[in-house]
Structure 1
Amino acid sequence: MRPLLSHSVPRLVAHCAAVFALLLASVQPAAAQSILRDAETEQLLRDMIDPLAEASGLGAGSVEVVLVNDNSINAFVAGGQRVYIHTGLIAAADTANEVQGVMAHELGHITGGHIIRFSEGAGNAMRISLLSALAGIAAALAGGGEAAMGVMALGQQMAMGQFLAFTRTQEASADAAGAQYLSAAGISGRGSLEFFRKLQSYEFRRGISQDREYEYARTHPMSGTRIAALRDGYMDDPAWDTPNDPVLEERFQRIKAKLFGFQATPERTLNAFPVYMTGVPARYARAYAYHKDARIEQALAETDALLEMEPDNPYFLELKGQILLESGRPLEALAPLRRSVELTNADPLIAPMLGHALLATEDPIHLEEAERVLRAAVGRDRRNPFAWYQLGVVYGQRGDIPRAQLASAEQQIMSGNPRSALMSAQGAEQGLPMGSPDWLRAQDVAIEARAQIERQVERRGNRD
């Protein structure tokens, strides 16, 4: 029996560790989802979170909101002052006020240092799990195989219970902090409660029991529990009867329709926004649907109708330029894109499209303007691989190979291709003037690429 026992003990320990690892994975947000970048959407999200960030003490402009292309209803923080919001949450919300309730909650996680303290809760639970594993090993070595399994199972249950209680406490703390920030910002908590009711309805539809005894197996309190804890405080708050900001709500409806048109099939979009609907959201959604369906004249008719209503709306001008550019008419796209860039003070997400259109004309006369526009874009937002790619094309056409290689390295490092980025950065470094800002940047990109490669090798080693 001793050989069998010596093989079974490591398996028991490995099983214990594997179960706990699965638990940790289940409560941490996925980090590999794709990010959507859109100038109008990002400006709206900034305007929605800024008063809450100010109320929280973090300061307006200090918190970034990132839109994740995922249809699930979710939002999370993952370190730093950055809030991630899924497109599915935007689609599920009826008002901007509902989304602000979620934002306030996520700010509660940031100000509470919950991401930092996450390892504290995980560490405490892991210690319990390891102690139970050691006790189980001792029992197994003494010949009590069944007792060993029982000790380990009980230890895992205790570890998971403590860890889940820890995460529920964090969630309740973030709810309370979020309520304070909404109040301090003069924003009603109605949207927060309405969104929790949506989540509660979702739980009912999925057959999730609302019995309190099942709450102990969850990372979050039940939505009903959260509503009960927040309702009285929200209703007693002076901001409860404050009406929603009508301008913010109108912008939110536009973004909802825009995202719907961008993500859904043309058929779904045209069913949801039939032609008799002539408001801005409906026309916005249909313009995207027609463009995706290669019905270019109908897409342009919708954008022209939007521009008749608001001739100087930079985002309508951006959309018209995009449709013209992507349908092979770059010369026609220049005028609306130039105007959009002018109106947004060279927004770093719009300017690269103008740079692309200038290059797409294949006329060397536009190279100088394209370089100027694209350099300004990456100067304001370096995290834009598309802009770096276009800038690399400009440098390549002008025969400036070292800077073309540096632009390629910037694009490759952000696109998850560190090996190519390292090669490009090393090539740029060899051709650039030693000590120049671009030469120093090439060294920085090479260092970052090497670090990413090392992490990739380490992860592969851990999997093996």
Structure 2
Amino acid sequence: MSKAFKQITTSILLLLVLPFSAAKAQSILRDAETEDFLHEVSDPIFIAAGLNPSSVHLYLLHDNSINAFVTGGQNIFIHSGLILEANNVNEFLGVMAHETCHIACGHRVRTASALGTAGTTSILSMVLGAAAILAGGADAGMGIMMAGQSMAQGQFLAYSRGQESEADLAGARYLQEAGIPGEGMIAFFEKLRDQEILAQVRQDPYVRSHPLNRTRIMQLQEVVGDSPYAGQPPNPDMNEKFNRLKAKLAGYLFEPRRTLRDYPLSDTSASARYARVYAYHKALEWDAALSEADALIAMEPNNPYFYEIKGQILFENGRVEQSLPVFKQAVALAPRQPLIATALGQAMVSTEDEKLMADAIPILEAATRQDRNNSFAWFNLAKAYAWMGREAEASLATAERFYSGGSPMQAVMHAQRAMEGFDEGTPEWLRAQDILYVSQEAAEKFRRQQERQRRQQDRQRLQEFE
């Protein structure tokens, strides 16, 4: 066993728990079936909006509040609470269509412009107010300032309300073009509108960032009512997949007692069995969890995600050898799913068998090519490289892991080690150099930020002392 292998195995903590895994401080949930489903149902909406579905990145956050939001680029973040609260797939798609407009309609760029306009109004009022005060009109000056601040705030809030209304109507249009009834959007917004009477501390984030009112909903009802798909029920296949996703999330996030109450043994549907798999796993009832997994496989023998669940239960119960053929079956049924391939690679690496280590390397390399941000694949690939004595490649894989995980200081250290191990100018050396330069800049920025925070804390302590 190499020194690098020992360092890797003792310094890294695996976070995989069944197919769901939490990344980046356990805030982003990753699951092969969930990610496939989110794109399967949302891609038609992205196409209707004129977006390239492969350019839109969807992230599921571990947060039980009801929320979804768009950030820079084409990134949509979805809270787990949004999925758990939606009654059917059409309610969920209504929110997705609304959020899609925030990307397709350029709201992020236009919001920056609106903030600039409001800021100009605010600054101008401050200048005029200050001039009035200097001229001897203190009351008039303060009045100008206060009026200016109020006007600036009103300008931006009016603009924000306009954006939300535009997103409603555009979202309804996307749904129609994708052949999806729009009533789900209205039903979900009606559900959220009831929260507006709550204090802000009790409101869900979506209500605070997407203010709803009766006028908006009535306007949306008129547009949705004209759709040729009005009144149609949700697509049964998509709704079944959505219900399974809800059940998996509930089983993964909630306490077993609650899950078993919501999905009793009398319910033999796939969704209920899914939920109970997680409930039994969390309760360390391994045999019961495996029994439910076997029942799922019997229902759908060609479903890769059912084998994935069974393999993970066996693996986490210490039955690694038994998990291997189950994981291999899952990979055979879903050959282009990097998260499932990673689970197989992890199981193979954990055996510490040299042949299995060697066999795991191409599997994990393929997984990282398909998913560069797959930190678990990078971790296990580094582990396999180190075991096989390929120290430079282990350092590069570890640098990739920390780079993708947003840990620039650690990425710098391992990238430097990798550069020392490869011949200058080779593709591996150049990749390590790229990681080094980018991570050094990020690490320096982080260091300066920490320094500013420390100076600010020191000033605060001095003020308190004085």
Pairwise same-fold verdict (TM > 0.5): yes
Of 175, 185, 189, the residue aligned with 2:168 is 175
Question: Where does residue 404 of structure 2 map in the other structure?
Answer: 414
1:88 is the counterpart of 2:88: no
2:28 and 2:62 in contact (8 A); partners too: yes
CA distance, structure 1, for counterparts of residue 126 and residue 104 of structure 2:
36
Give the aligned partner of residue 187 of structure 1.
180
Structure 2 residue 113 is the aligned partner of structure 1 residue 120: yes
Q: Pick from 19, 41, 44: which aligns with 1:48?
A: 41
1:348–1:454: structure 2 CA closer, same or farther, 3 Å change rule? same
- Distance (whole Å) between structure 1 residues aligned to residue 208 and residue 138 of structure 2: 31
Q: CA deviation at 1:202?
A: 2.7
1:331 pairs with 2:324: no
1:324-363 alpha-carbon deviations (Å, 9 max, x no partner): 1111111111011111111111411111111110011121
Give the C-alpha shift of residue 33 in structure 1: 8.1
Tell me if structure 2 keeps the 8 A contact 1:300–1:323: yes
Cα pair distance change 1:198/1:60, threshold 3 Å: same
1:343 is aligned to 2:336: no
8 Å Cα contact 2:358/2:388 also seen in 1: no
Deviation at 1:314, TM superposition (A): 0.6
Which amino acid is 1:195 matched to? F
What is the Cα deviation at residue 458 of structure 1?
A: 4.6
Do the aligned residues in 1 keep the contact of 2:415 with 2:436 (CA within 8 Å)? yes
Displacement of 1:149 after TM fit? 4.2
Shift of 1:243: 3.3
Decide whether the 8 Å contact of 2:182 with 2:230 is kept in 1. yes
| CA shift digits 1:176-224 (9 cap, x unpaired) | 111111111111101111111111123345599xxxxxxxx97644242
In structure 2, what is the Cα distance between the partners aligned to 1:358 and 1:439? Answer: 28
Cα separation, partners in 2 of 1:56 and 1:333, compared to 1, 3 Å = same
2:71 aligned to which of 78, 87, 101: 78
**TM-score normalised over the length of structure 2:** 0.87
Q: Which amino acid aligns with 2:105?
A: G
TM-superposed deviation, 1:34: 1.7
CA distance in 2, matches of 1:253, 1:337: 24
* Aligned residue in 2 for 1:255: 245
1:376 aligned to 2:366? yes
State how far apart, in whole Å, the 2-side matches of 1:225 and 1:218 are.
17
Which residue number in structure 1 is paired with residue 96 of structure 2? 103
Alignment partners' CA distance in 2, 1:374 and 1:219: 41
For 1:36, the equivalent position in structure 2 comes to: 29
What's the RMSD between the two structures over aligned residues?
Answer: 2.2
Q: Which residue of 1 aligns with 2:225?
A: 235
- Assess, with a 3 A threshold, how the Cα gap between structure 1 residues 219 and 390 changes in structure 2: closer, same or farther: closer
Aligned residues: 426
Structure showing greater relative contact order (alpha-carbon pairs closer than 8 Å, 6 or more residues apart): 2
SS in 2 for 1:349: helix
Larger CA deviation: 131-140 vs 329-338: 131-140
Q: CA deviation at 1:421?
A: 0.6
In structure 2, the partner of 1:57 is: 50
Tell me how far apart the structure 2 counterparts of residues 148 and 64 of structure 1 sit (CA, whole Å): 49
Amino acid aligned to 1:276: S
Q: In structure 2, which of residues 288, 293, 310 is the aligned counterpart of residue 320 of structure 1? A: 310
Deviation of 1:264 after TM superposition, in Å, equals: 0.8
In structure 2, the partner of 1:4 is none
Whether the 8 Å CA contact 2:62–2:80 is kept in 1: the answer is: yes
Matched, 1:266 2:256: yes
Classify 1:400/1:207 alpha carbon distance in 2 versus 1 (closer, same or farther; 3 Å): closer
Q: Give the SS at the match of 1:57.
A: coil
Q: 1:145 offset after TM fit, Å?
A: 5.4
2:169 is equivalent to residue 160 of structure 1: no
Q: Structure 1 129/461 Cα, relative in aligned 2: closer, same or farther at 3 Å?
A: farther
Q: Which stretch has the larger CA shift, 328-337 or 155-164? A: 155-164
Following superposition, the deviation at residue 459 of structure 1 comes to 3.6
Amino acid at match of 2:372: R
Q: Determine what percentage of the aligned residue pairs are the same residue.
A: 47
State how far apart, in whole Å, the 1-side matches of 2:82 and 2:76 are: 13
2:43 partner letter = D
In structure 2, how many angstroms separate the alpha carbons of the residues matched to 1:364 and 1:309?
A: 37
The one-letter amino acid of 2:348's match is L
Contact 1:168 1:219 in 2 (8 A): no
Task: Judge conservation of contact 1:70–1:87 (CA < 8 Å) in 2.
Answer: yes
Q: Deviations over 1:216-256 (max 9, x none)?
A: x9764424222111101111111213332111000000000
From the superposition, tell whether residues 365 and 196 of structure 1 become closer, same or farther in structure 2 (CA, over 3 Å): same
Instruction: Give yes or no for contact 1:67–1:86 (8 Å, CA) kept in 2.
Output: yes
Say whether the 8 Å CA contact 1:66–1:82 is kept in structure 2. yes
**Equivalent pair of 1:62/1:81 in contact (CA under 8 Å):** yes
Q: Can you give the 5+ residue segments of structure 2 that lack an aligned partner in the other structure?
A: 1-23, 202-206, 457-466
More displaced stretch, 142-151 vs 256-265: 142-151
Which one-letter code corresponds to 2:46 in the other structure?
A: A
Unmatched 5+ stretches in structure 1: 1-30, 209-216
- Cα distance between partner residues in 2 of 1:71 and 1:200: 18
1:175 CA displacement: 1.1
Aligned to 1:454: 444
Letter paired with 2:36:
Q
Distance in 2 between the 1:431 and 1:203 partners?
60
In 1: Cα distance, 2:80 partner to 2:49 partner:
25
The answer for the alignment partner of 2:385 in structure 1 is 395
Which SS does the other structure have where 2:63 is aligned? coil
120 and 420 in structure 1: CA distance in 2 versus 1, 3 angstrom threshold? same
